[in-house]
Structure 1
Amino acid sequence: LADQTNEKINSLMSSRSAEVMSAEETKFFNDITSGVGNVEKTLPLEIINQVFDELTYAHPLLDIINFQDMGLRTKAITSDGIYNGGTAVWGTFAGDIQGKLNQNFGEHDFSQNKLTAFTVIPKDALDYSYDWLKTFIILQLSESIAVALEAALVNGDGN
């Protein structure tokens, strides 16, 4: 398994263009490789975005679904005015306003769930370059998230 992981990391690294790490990424890797205690750090946004890019690249089912980042949305206000009768009415320029829409307003609650994962970085891995560590983290997280998403999509109830 370790050989397969190294093979996948090396393959991914060779296919990537040379990217310059952001200041946040460099700080993150400096912090985790400093050798001071057990470091728990939140991944920089750039790495999280790359995790999701890898999800859709490596998992065709997830690419078909076309996930969109909607932020945190918990409810939506809806109206059925155009479907429940009433339309716009043409009239003369100086005529009365007509065409009352029969609208019913509703509120729909979207309960929020979250899918979480974290990765433990073995101390031996800290001997590798920041690029290698970044790729290792992206692969670990994208694979674990992909498996959970695919299982939910295939086995889920549609909610």
Structure 2
Amino acid sequence: MTIKNLDREKVIENKEEQIKALQAAFESADPKEVAEKIITHFENNALHFQDMMNTTIREANRAKEQQWDDAVLAQRGVRALTTKEKEFYNKAIEVKSFDGVSELVPPTVYERVFEDLAVDHPLLSKINFQRVGASTMWVVRKEGATTAFWGDVCENIKEMVDHGFRTFDQGMYKLSGFLVVCKAMFEIGPEWLDRYVRAFLTEIVAAELESVVVIGDGNKKPIGMIRDLDGAVQNGVYPEKDAIVLNDLSPKTIGREILAPTTVVDKDESGHPKRFRRYKGVTFILNPYDYAYHFFGQTTKQRDDGVWMFNNFPVPELEIVQSTSVPLGKMIVGHPKDYFMGVASEAKLESTDVLRMIEDQRLYLVRQLANGRPLDNDSFRVFDISKIGEDEETP
């Protein structure tokens, strides 16, 4: 079974009513704006979503006809379900809807969504994802911090707490997305329905989550890597860090401007380095366009035997991560693990009678609590790389 072709069909019926229905479900600063974004996103990508459903249905039918074994199913992203997950999907299949069964959604479904995010999106795979409860107090250990001291017992404990760990009084914000499902999807079995749900949620959440990790302004959303934690916060918005101009990729410039700061754990009141850690490599996070335009020519050399060598950076233990969320002309440098993202153990799957798309399709609202921020203001540095390679002739 496939979904009816959408050509010449009006994709969104009663658009204003659906925006109002979504708006009522939100509790953010501007729920109407979020609702409009979700409906517009569906409207612009309806054919893509239809193709996702049709592809899943075709593969599920092939698997049944050809009796694929567990190894083949695993390669196709179909995983073994827990008892709770089977109970949830079988109940949804029984009523051919997620209505009335959303309270049964096992936390493991959403946990696997974030695991899939980490696998398919390089930057998200490297940050410090943690499952957290409803508590808003986060305690994380500082990398490179001293964890043993000489002195009286009580002083030891106090200093270890003061210098070995960092505490955040961090609230949680709603990460809202949506899930489109047609009736035919409830006929393919729980394992395939699970694969589709995870794939859809992963795709919907990925771009927004990576965006806030990089540039989130902190206003009812996580604080991104490029934000200045010590800057003046206006209306909940953290300012961007001043970008340090990087004129070249010479070893001297890289050593002083990029590598040396990564070894500093703490500074004195004058801003001079006070405590250090061993250099353990560094990560460059930049836009794919900037990588090609500014970096590729600088780091590509031809050997005497004619073979071209790529990514010859004068940087030990360098890792390059490309992200379309990084603003053009800028590069973020640091250790992605120094970005902490807390994700709540529970999420909600909701719908209303209004949230129906064309024919037999329904849109379900997904809400996940999450928040994140760099461990401290020195975790990431921002560089202006717009001048690199501009004054050199192309060989």
Residue 129 (structure 2) aligns with: 67
Residue 31 (structure 1) aligns with: 91
8 A Cα contact 1:28 1:44, kept in partner: yes
1:51-104 Cα offsets, whole Å, 9 max, x none, are 111111111110011312233332368xxxxxxxxx744xxxxxxx6996897x
**Structure 1 stretch 66-75 or stretch 17-26: which is displaced more?**
17-26
Residue 170 (structure 2) aligns with: 110
Residue 44 (structure 1) aligns with: 106
TM-score normalised by L of structure 1: 0.67
The question of 1:156 aligning with 2:242 is answered no
CA RMSD of aligned residues (A): 3.8
Query: Which protein, 1 or 2, shows the higher relative CO under an 8 Å CA cutoff with sep ≥ 6?
Result: 1
Secondary structure of the 1:73 match is: coil
Superposed displacement of residue 134, structure 1: 0.5
Secondary structure of the 2:118 match is: helix
Count the aligned residue pairs.
Answer: 144
Residue 188 (structure 2) aligns with: 128
Superposed displacement of residue 33, structure 1: 1.4
In structure 2, how many angstroms separate the alpha carbons of the residues matched to 1:98 and 1:29?
55
In structure 1, how many angstroms separate the alpha carbons of the residues matched to 2:117 and 2:75?
16
Secondary structure of the 2:81 match is: coil
Structure richer in strand, relative to its length: 2
Same amino acid, percent of matched pairs: 27
Residue 300 (structure 2) aligns with: none
In structure 2, how many angstroms separate the alpha carbons of the residues matched to 1:152 and 1:67?
14
**Structure 1 stretch 58-67 or stretch 41-50: which is displaced more?**
41-50
8 A Cα contact 1:56 1:63, kept in partner: yes
What is the letter of the counterpart of residue 150 of structure 1?
Answer: E
What is the letter of the counterpart of residue 124 of structure 1?
Answer: A
In structure 2, how many angstroms separate the alpha carbons of the residues matched to 1:127 and 1:99?
64
Residue 140 (structure 1) aligns with: 200
Q: 1:74 to 1:128 in 2, by over 3 A?
A: same
**Structure 1 stretch 131-140 or stretch 35-44: which is displaced more?**
35-44
Secondary structure of the 1:47 match is: helix
Structure richer in helix, relative to its length: 1
Secondary structure of the 1:111 match is: coil
In structure 1, how many angstroms separate the alpha carbons of the residues matched to 2:215 and 2:108?
31
Superposed displacement of residue 47, structure 1: 1.5
Which residues in structure 2 correspond to 1:11-30 (within 5 Å)?
Answer: 13-15=73-75, 19-30=79-90
